A and B are shown apart, each in its own frame.
Chain A
Amino acid sequence: MECLRKEGVEVIFGYPGGANLPMYDSLKKYPDIRHILVRHEQSAAHAADAYARITGKAGVVWATSGPGATNLVTGIANAWMDSVPLVCITGAVVSWLLGRDGFQEADITGITIPITKHNELVLNVEDIAPAIKEAFHIATTGRPGPVLIDIPRDVQQQLCEFDYPEEVNLPGYQPTTTGHPQQVKKAAQMIAEAERPLILAGHGVVISRAAEELREVAEKAHIPVITTLLGLGGFPGSHELFMGMPGMHGMYWNNMAIQEADLLIGIGMRFDDRVTGALNHFAPKARIIHIDVDPAEIAKNVKTAVPIVGDVKTVLRQLIPHVQPARHDAWLNWIQDMRRDHPSIAIPETNRLLPQYVIKRIYELSGHDAYYATGVGQHQMWAAQFFWGDHPYSFVTSGGLGTMGFEVPAGIGIQVARPHSTVWTFCGDGGFQMTMEELALCTEYELPVKFAIINNQYLGMVRQWQDHYYDGNKQSVRMFQPDFVKIAEAMGITGLRVTEKSQVDSSIEAALQHPGAVLIDFQVEEAEDCFPMMPPGVSLSETIDQPPVEQPEMVR
């Protein structure tokens, strides 16, 4: 506990059990550290994950041995895939029972090897302080990620002289932060030579808090900026150079622009398959500059002309003075023409209750300083497509792992980090039911999270794939829905149901004005597909734009 205080920990998300009782016993001595008792350990990891993304500090998770620890696995994997700093401290069975299948024993350090940046079983009380110190250091520096420390119950109980190390001693861990100056100059030279440059900005920009530096580079060299799903919020949405998201459900114009560009500048992103499509047809005309803090990302998926390993913010600061001021009006016009011909996210004029409309109105009515969390699936893609806000670092979603059920605990984690801000959680009706037990936390800890269930009665994204690629054979995608309003009420929060388009604005405003948590069950059009869509396994050039929209309403 003293270690946690030294690290400036304010909040712990956790769940007690037999093997971490000594840790919980010490909580009362630290009234300044807040403990949020979740209803399932997976949610502790997700909430801490969202908390970490918003605050930039490591999220702290406590769980007991065995099932407590194994319940964390999905949450840890989620943080691992999205490079989120977590410090998970699990209790283990007493040390003399380790490896003997004791009650509630699981080899959690073994289990989490592939999904943690580092993990360690601590067997001596003197080793706890250095292990915790190292855990925070490793989790938050370089490419961030989850760290797990497993401590047997008897080791938690032992006493020793408290000696918190000032520094860590990790000969095998020295992440590069500064870009190689020669490479930076080469990159600037390549940018000056380009006629059709594009910036692909990813989560690294958000993690490194480098939105300001990114804007400076883009404006100085007049380069359009595309952000990946996790890069959303790394560049102002209203900026004339902002182009939205690329990839499988990205903007049609972006996918075409990537194929046409002569220079791609990947900044804090990893050329994921959902962004690139078929790699052998990806960006055929482009040279690639790749800036990333993780050397293992360089040349993993695409051939790179100029790799720069370093922290995004630091490297961009190095780059700015070398970048030549330029204009690329012809190139921007090319993209704008593409945009005009392929609006991608036009919403048809209709009285039907469309999910896109609901999401767009929530963005428009919630002011400029709200935060947003999403689950995974169609609603997530719509939420990303319509996210054109200026509030930096305000969009939290499960990108790499694509964890349904992330949304509810994520919204809670954001609200804990930002108690006075508006927090919207876009939920799928499927994902919501995976973690809806956490609604109770909104009442228990007075967290005024606003939940918008985009309820189409289906596992919508799976249904869309079954319709398009499995001859419409809808298997196991339509589900019985409980009465979400009653669930909200049972959990002690306000529930609203919206079935008509005319009720959308009034319900959103009612939710915003209500001081407590609100759940709105938006019963939207059932069979709406998410477009544009790049079919699996093909190149970006084969992206299918949305079908023509008669009388489009609210085209951006």
Chain B
Amino acid sequence: MTTNRRLHTIVALVQNRPGVLNKIASKWRQRGFNIESLTVGHSEVPGLSRMTFTVDGAAHDIEQVTKQLYKVIEVVKISDVTAEEVVARELALIKVAAAKDSRSQIIEIVNLFRAKIVDVGSDSFVIEVTGTEDKVDAFVNMITPYGLKELVRTGRVAMVRGGTQTVRAPAVNGAEQQKPHRSAGEGKPRVGSLI
């Protein structure tokens, strides 16, 4: 199944009980998927957590796994929002070397990307940047030449635009989703993709 592969964003609402993450991870593992990113946190409903996965694969295979995931009793709702209009963000913390002669240039890039310097050391900065994966990629590319020391990224969180709820029960025989999409890190990062 090499055709139709692309990065999918899956959002799930799950009961906050021990072992749930293990059960969900197990379903992906059984079918040989590698989870690109995963975020978990409380949702607006007490006792329910929201998970956001990004997974690379063909639409048909992903649909199969989401159906299997829906069988996990603690999964209340799950949906593939790849084809929907979503707001998707991730956050990165970056520790970069900040020598005297490069400090002002780094600050300029930080301002350009609307990132934030959250820690200043004698010879390094910790920078917080939020945005799409493309924006974070672009920022990392810009900052790397100054001496990247450490990088941590949260992975994607997503929400459907407008009044619709992000997570709904999956359709029984979900139609193939064909909207074009660019994977994180794929192609040339553009500085112009700032928001």
Contact = CB atoms under 8 A, between A and B. Distances in A.
Interface of A: 109-110, 113-114, 117-121, 134, 138, 170-173, 180, 294-296, 298-300, 304, 307, 309
Contacts of B103: none
B14 A172 contact: yes
A296 B173 contact: no
B18 A114 contact: no
26 contacts: A109-B19, A110-B22, A113-B19, A113-B22, A113-B23, A113-B26, A114-B26, A114-B30, A118-B73, A121-B18, A134-B73, A171-B15, A172-B14, A172-B15, A172-B76, A172-B77, A173-B73, A294-B71, A295-B70, A295-B172, A296-B64, A296-B67, A296-B70, A296-B71, A298-B172, A304-B173
B33 to A, nearest CB: 14
B75 interface: yes
A386 to B, nearest CB: 36
B173 A307 contact: yes
A228 to B, nearest CB: 21
Contacts of A309: 172
B73 A138 contact: yes
A389 to B, nearest CB: 34
B19 A121 contact: yes
B68 interface: yes
B19 A172 contact: no
A92 to B, nearest CB: 13
Nearest to B78: A172
B67 A172 contact: no
**Most chain B beta-carbon neighbours within 10 Å: one of A113, A170, A180, A299:** A113
Nearest to A113: B26
B45 to A, nearest CB: 9
Contacts of B74: 172
B22 A295 contact: no
B72 interface: yes
In this complex, the member of A138, A294, A299 whose beta carbon has the largest number of chain B beta carbons within 10 angstroms is A299
B76 A171 contact: yes
A206 B15 CA distance: 33
Contacts of A173: 73
B15 to A, nearest CB: 6
B180 to A, nearest CB: 23
A356 to B, nearest CB: 38
Interface in B27-81: 30, 60, 63-64, 67-68, 70-77
Contacts of B64: 296, 300
A170 B173 contact: no
Contacts of B23: 113
Contacts of A171: 15, 76
Given A304-B173, A309-B172, A170 B19 contact: no
A23 to B, nearest CB: 22
Nearest 6 Cβ contacts at the A-B interface: A296-B67, A172-B76, A118-B73, A113-B26, A171-B76, A173-B73
A208 B70 CA distance: 22
Contacts of B68: 296
A240 B14 CA distance: 50
A213 B15 CA distance: 38
B47 to A, nearest CB: 9
A88 B72 CA distance: 18
A121 B18 CA distance: 9
B72 A172 contact: yes
Contacts of B72: 172
Contacts of A307: 172-173
Given A121-B19, A171-B76, 12 more contacts: A121-B18, A172-B72, A172-B74, A172-B75, A294-B71, A296-B67, A296-B68, A296-B70, A296-B71, A298-B173, A299-B63, A304-B173
Nearest to A308: B172
A296 to B, nearest CB: 4
A329 B14 CA distance: 53
Interface in B167-192: 170, 172-173
A121 B19 CA distance: 9
Nearest to B75: A172
A304 B67 CA distance: 16
Contact of A170 (B26, B71, B73, B170): B73
Contacts of A109: 19
A109 B63 CA distance: 26
Nearest to A294: B71
Contacts of A304: 173
Nearest to B23: A113
Nearest to A143: B71
Interface in B83-123: none
Contacts of A117: 71, 73
A299 B67 CA distance: 11
A120 B18 CA distance: 9
Nearest to A145: B71
A127 to B, nearest CB: 11
Contacts of A113: 19, 22-23, 26
B86 to A, nearest CB: 23
A67 B68 CA distance: 29
Contact of A299 (B26, B73, B76, B173): B173
